[in-house]
Amino acid sequence: MRPYCVLLVAVSAFAQSAATYDGSRQVKLTGVVTKIDWANPRAFFFVDVKDAAGTVANWAVEFGNPLDLEKDGWTRNSLRIGDTVNVEGVPAREPRSQAFAKSVTLAKTGKKLFVAAPKKPAVAAVHEPTPRWPDGQVRLGPPPSKKGYWKAPNATALVDSTAGKIAMNDEGLLKNLSNVDRVAPFQPWAKAVYEYRQRTLLKDDPLARCLPPGGPRQFQMPNGLQFIEQRELGRILVLLGGADRNWRVIYTDGRPQGQADEVVRGYYGNSVGKWEKDTLVVDVVGFNEHFWFANGGLPHTEALHLTERFTRPDLGTLKYEVTVDDPRTYTRPWNGGWNMQWVPNEEIQEYFCEENVEATLSGKESYK
Amino acid sequence: MAMCAPVFSQQGHPLTGTWTGDWGATSTQRNQVIFVMNWDGKNITGLINPGPDSIPIASVFLDPTTWTVRIEADTKTKVHIFAEGKLEDLGSYHRIIKGSWTQGSTKGDFKITRT
């Protein structure tokens, strides 16, 4: 018997994209594994599947993110070329032989290699005092000689705080499109763009092409982030676990914010921060228009101005609040936010987005 | 072998940016045209064929419920331009506007693509 290392693995942190896969349908496949593509962020294996007429099609089966799979005990040898497997999954929306696996079973033994589990990161609440520097200022990073990072936002979409609860999925897709007007105070064109992105299931999301998640979206990423406080240099670095090791600089050396037209426009803008008692207040301008600044497809222009407030009421909680002011897109400034949880005693995991994997599979144009 | 050409995506106002294409009365009589448009929060402003002989755009109307675009301008010789088209493939970087073009007494069609 072959040494299958993992018999049951929960795939915890990478659900199928609604733009790519049709969650309302199921597909069952049986075939021989012909290739395994252990690529980040999306691992695939390929199986030759014979239909009733005897025609063989080579299906691409996506089964998660390699980092999450490895964390759950999966190894490169858990599945081998030549294995016959039974796959239950969700088929692609487009007419191509592709599916997202919900379960994979070895035909020979009947043992399940994995079963996809709901995407809820297991981060235990940490109720300890807020760590501080010797001068009493709040630390956003780990306590001295400790490790840890921030993850698991308790909301995965940015909505106007006056809107109340709006049902959305983890990608920011509204359960009910009639709630569009409650999400944010859109200008008419922005509402139409947002609706279009929602109706098309976020298929044009630049993040799917590995473009950086600027603005509040960096705090919605499933792989978390880390603050590096370089007080002697007057800056704080925000390192993202996802988004190809992107980082953002928040200057805390007292420099004034430049005018938006003077700064070099980028995905993360130009950030200057200052501490107001226990809250870090960050002013950000200078964004480009090459990205979506929150899950769900909220539009913005170069006029986007964010005011972010970071508060750490205890070791395990980071409260993120943001005021969005973009008069070319929204009729008034509006606020939103969420809490993130501290993952103690762990290093942030680097998540390498494989550029254009979606474009390669679908034959669509790529983005850079 | 398939090649993917990298481009910079523009995710803000759908008309902002540079558009190139042509207009003409027939399929063989075409005139190259370049539009540069910008959304300032209240109006869309811009130029047709930027350069020494550029034509300031007098008005741009966008109906986001149908993505209908109407553009009006006057040449230096006071010939009126009226173009009306539909914005198509909104989510694509290379979205297009195509429709009818009237310049003075000449009627034709146009198609411009976001570059």
Cα A314 to Cα A339: distance, rounded to the nearest angstrom:
12
| Contact between B14 and A367 using a beta-carbon 8 Å cutoff | no
User: For B57-77, what is the mean pLDDT?
Assistant: 97
The string of pLDDT tens digits covering residues A2-14 is 332 222 333 333 4
User: For A264-292, what is the mean pLDDT?
Assistant: 95
3-state secondary structure of B71: strand
User: For B95-111, what is the mean pLDDT?
Assistant: 97
Q: Which residues contact A54 (CB under 8 A, 6 or more apart)?
A: none
Q: Look at residue A226 in the predicted model and tell me its pLDDT.
A: 94
Q: Which of B1, B3, B4, B45 to mutate to test the interface with A (most CBs of A within 10 A)?
A: B4
User: For A251-267, what is the mean pLDDT?
Assistant: 86
The answer to whether A295 and A172 are in contact (CB under 8 A) is yes
Provide the terminal-to-terminal Cα distance of chain B, rounded to the nearest Å.
Answer: 24
Q: Look at residue A361 in the predicted model and tell me its pLDDT.
A: 47
Mean pLDDT of chain A: 86
Q: Residue B69: list chain A partners with CB under 8 A.
A: none
> Residue B9's pLDDT band (boundaries 50, 70, 90)?
confident
Q: Look at residue A52 in the predicted model and tell me its pLDDT.
A: 85
Q: Would the pLDDT of A113 be above 50?
A: yes
Q: Which of B9, B42, B115 to mutate to test the interface with A (most CBs of A within 10 A)?
A: B9
Strand pairing class (A112-116; A10-11): parallel
Find the residue in B nearest to A192 (Cα): B64
Q: Report CA-CA distances (Å) from A308 to A112, A272, B58.
A: 45, 10, 39
pTM confidence score: 0.83
Q: Which residues contact A9 (CB under 8 A, 6 or more apart)?
A: A69, A72, A73, A74, A78, A113, A114, A115
Burial A331-341 (b: 16+ CB within 10 A, else e): eeebbbbbbbb
Cα A50 to Cα A30: distance, rounded to the nearest angstrom:
8
* Facing A289 at nearest CB: one of B2, B10, B40: B10
> SS3 letters for B6-59?
CCCCCCCCCCCEEEEEEEECCCCCCEEEEEEEEECCCCEEEEECCCCCCEEEEE
Q: Look at residue A127 in the predicted model and tell me its pLDDT.
A: 80
Q: Report CA-CA distances (Å) from B87 to A107, A136, B64, B98.
A: 51, 56, 9, 7
Cα B30 to Cα A329: distance, rounded to the nearest angstrom:
36
Task: List the one residue out of B62, B54, B70 whose CA is nearest residue B102.
Answer: B70
The string of pLDDT tens digits covering residues B23-50 is 999 999 999 999 999 999 999 999 999 9
Asked if the bond preceding B6 is cis, omega within 30° of 0, the reply is no
Q: Look at residue A355 in the predicted model and tell me its pLDDT.
A: 55
The string of pLDDT tens digits covering residues A222-233 is 889 999 999 999
Token pair listed for A240: 């993202």
Cα A47 to Cα A85: distance, rounded to the nearest angstrom:
8
> Which CB contacts under 8 angstroms, 24+ apart, belong to A257-266?
A257/A283, A257/A285, A258/A285, A258/A286, A259/A285, A260/A285, A260/A286, A260/A302, A260/A303, A260/A305, A265/A302, A266/A214
Q: Residue A299: list chain B partners with CB under 8 A.
A: 11-13
The residue whose two tokens read 């969700």 is: A90
Q: Look at residue A268 in the predicted model and tell me its pLDDT.
A: 95
The string of pLDDT tens digits covering residues A310-319 is 999 999 999 9
The residue whose two tokens read 């496949």 is: A29
| Contact between B12 and A329 using a beta-carbon 8 Å cutoff | yes
Cα B80 to Cα A141: distance, rounded to the nearest angstrom:
62
Tell whether B52 lies on the interface with A, counting CB pairs under 8 A. Answer: no
Q: Look at residue B42 in the predicted model and tell me its pLDDT.
A: 95
What is the number of CB-based contacts under 8 A between chain A and chain B? Answer: 78
| Contact between A365 and B4 using a beta-carbon 8 Å cutoff | yes
Q: Residue B7: list chain A partners with CB under 8 A.
A: 365-368
Exposed, middle or buried: residue A175 (CB in 10 Å: 0-12, 13-18, 19+)?
A: exposed
> Residue A117's pLDDT band (boundaries 50, 70, 90)?
low
The string of pLDDT tens digits covering residues A346-366 is 888 777 776 545 444 444 444
Token pair listed for A21: 């896969």
> SS3 letters for A191-238?
HHHHHHHHHCCCCCCHHHHCCCCCHHHHHCCCCCEEEEEEHHHCEEEE
Report the percentage of chain A scoring pLDDT > 90.
59
